[in-house]
């Protein structure tokens, strides 16, 4: 008697698990099933994963969709409000393209096996169930993106969906809420055949326009000039293959991995923080899961870099003052906690910024940089401090270099004059800072005379 094999249970027939002696061993059967699952997970085509538990444990809600479920990993969520709009968008797609249900179903059915192989987690869905899920989810995504570009497609039903717009754009970037890009591209190609007016827009351009409109910022990581959509695995993968964020070749140090000092330490040594391009953190969980990627985990590198740079509230205040961080959370403490948790359980491996970090550490090791910074900020940071410091130094020099005959003249005509001028200008605090210096100079003058 043989065990029945089925696509939805991944059962293995008795003939496949009989050992060399021809007997059936249930332990061998169990090990074979485990091996099949591991082969599936490590398959080259797998691009969509569950978030690792270590990352999820820090803040589970950030990895969960709040409005709509896309794909099989959260298909059992019945509490998501926008899910009820999937059938409405499917009807809108059919009306817009004038395609038949048979055409759209067969298009998805032909890609079902390839799409199934993209998911690391084995699914308990039959082929028909999976095709139905892909039809509802994929056509929703494509039509939703097209509708965001073509304003004339608005309808009374669609206005009810507006309340979900922002949350939906966020959900479409979650690692566990992805559909294979080739599937969405194939469905968009169906639209192009029936609507030539869209031929001037690639699907990647449609995606870029959609996320730009919802985030009100340019998505710097999306390269709309990609020659082939086949290079993209899914929406989140657009982050991985974005335009390079570093100019020139990356330089690695041979003496180990270095991370930067915190912002306060750098500030004490005279490092100036200046604004650059906008950085938006997307789902780093993808980089931690993706096996064999070629572009490396540069976003996780940057997250780790920022975690070392921002360790205290004072670090945050310095970066906010320099325009590096735009605080939309409220308190400085919340921002500090955000960066402190940013790199937890994230293992970037090679540090792309190691060369720059080593340069910063070497710079901070030289005491002269700290001393010069302290001198400049305490005595030369304003015109008044600068003038007073120069005057004090000048007078001190005169005390030891001028002849005795000039000492009384300096004391009566120059030194006292400076003191009176500082009082008149209301620089009492500045005067108190230099009172000791003036006292030393006066005593020297009287001694000399």
pLDDT tens digits for range 25-81:
788 888 877 776 655 545 567 888 888 887 788 778 888 999 999 999 999 888 888
The position carrying tokens 């005593």 is 443
Greater model confidence, 128 or 346: 128
- The predicted-structure confidence for 298-357, as pLDDT tens digits, reads as follows 667 777 888 888 889 999 988 888 888 888 777 888 888 888 877 666 666 566 777 778
Asked whether the beta carbons of 89 and 140 are under 8 A apart, the reply is: yes
The b/e string for 259-275 (b: 16+ C-beta within 10 A; e otherwise) is: bbbbbbbbbebbbebee
* pLDDT, average across residues 395-405: 60
A 10 A CB-CB count for 318 gives 21
Under 8 Å CB-to-CB from 105, ≥6 apart: which residues?
A: 131, 135
Asked whether the beta carbons of 375 and 401 are under 8 A apart, the reply is: no
First to last CA, the chain: 121
**CA–CA dist 382, 369 (Å, integer):** 20
pTM over 0.95: no
Task: Record the tokens describing residue 7, joined without a space.
Answer: 């696509």
* pLDDT, average across residues 377-387: 73
- The predicted-structure confidence for 19-31, as pLDDT tens digits, reads as follows 555 666 788 888 8
- The predicted-structure confidence for 88-111, as pLDDT tens digits, reads as follows 999 989 988 899 999 999 999 999
A 10 A CB-CB count for 61 gives 7
Q: What percent of the chain has pLDDT over 70?
A: 61
- The predicted-structure confidence for 258-289, as pLDDT tens digits, reads as follows 778 888 888 888 887 877 654 444 444 444 45
186 alpha carbon, distance to own chain's centre: 29
Longest Cα separation, the chain: 122
**CA–CA dist 269, 317 (Å, integer):** 17
pLDDT band, very low/low/confident/very high, at 409 (cuts 50, 70, 90): low
Cα–Cα–Cα angle for 99, 105, 110, nearest 5°? 120
**CA–CA dist 345, 300 (Å, integer):** 11
């Amino acid at each position: 008697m043989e065990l029945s094999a089925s696509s939805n249970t991944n059962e293995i027939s008795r003939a496949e698990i009989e050992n060399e002696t021809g007997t059936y061993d249930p332990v061998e059967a169990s090990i074979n099933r485990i091996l099949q699952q591991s082969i599936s997970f490590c398959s080259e085509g797998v691009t969509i994963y569950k978030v690792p538990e270590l990352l999820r444990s820090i803040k589970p809600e950030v990895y969960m969709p709040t409005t709509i479920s896309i794909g099989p990993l959260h298909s059992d969520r019945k509490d998501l409000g926008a899910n009820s709009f999937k059938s409405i968008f499917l009807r809108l797609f059919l009306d817009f393209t004038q395609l038949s249900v048979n055409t759209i179903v067969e298009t998805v059915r032909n890609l079902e096996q390839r799409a199934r192989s993209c998911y690391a987690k084995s699914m308990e869905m039959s082929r028909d169930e999976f095709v139905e899920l892909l039809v509802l989810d994929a056509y929703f995504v494509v039509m939703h993106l097209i509708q965001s570009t073509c304003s004339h497609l608005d309808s009374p039903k669609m206005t009810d969906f507006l309340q979900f717009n922002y949350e939906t754009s966020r959900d479409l970037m979650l690692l566990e809420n992805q559909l294979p890009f080739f599937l969405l591209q194939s469905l968009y190609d169906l639209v192009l055949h029936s609507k030539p007016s869209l031929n001037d827009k690639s699907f990647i351009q449609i995606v870029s326009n959609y996320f730009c409109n919802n985030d009100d910022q340019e998505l710097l990581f999306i390269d709309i000039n990609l020659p082939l959509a086949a290079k993209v695995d899914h929406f989140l993968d657009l982050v991985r293959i974005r335009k390079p964020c570093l100019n020139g070749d990356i330089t690695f140090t041979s003496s180990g991995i270095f991370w930067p000092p915190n912002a306060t330490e750098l500030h004490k040594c005279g490092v100036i923080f200046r604004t650059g391009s906008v950085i938006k953190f997307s789902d780093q969980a993808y980089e931690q899961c993706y096996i064999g990627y070629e572009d490396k985990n540069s976003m996780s590198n940057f997250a780790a870099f920022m975690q070392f740079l921002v360790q205290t509230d004072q670090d945050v205040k310095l970066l906010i003052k320099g325009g590096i961080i735009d605080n939309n959370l409220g308190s400085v403490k919340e921002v500090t906690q955000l960066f402190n948790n940013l790199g937890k359980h994230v293992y970037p491996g090679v540090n792309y910024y190691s060369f720059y970090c080593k340069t910063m550490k070497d710079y901070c090791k030289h005491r002269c940089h700290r001393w010069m910074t302290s001198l400049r900020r305490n005595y030369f940071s304003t015109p008044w401090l600068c003038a007073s410091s120069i005057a004090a130094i000048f007078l001190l020099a005169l005390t030891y270099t001028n002849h005795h005959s000039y000492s009384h003249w300096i004391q009566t005509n120059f030194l006292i004059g400076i003191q009176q001028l500082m009082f008149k200008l209301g620089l009492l605090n500045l005067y108190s800072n230099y009172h000791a210096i003036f006292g030393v100079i006066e005593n020297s003058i009287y001694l000399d005379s």
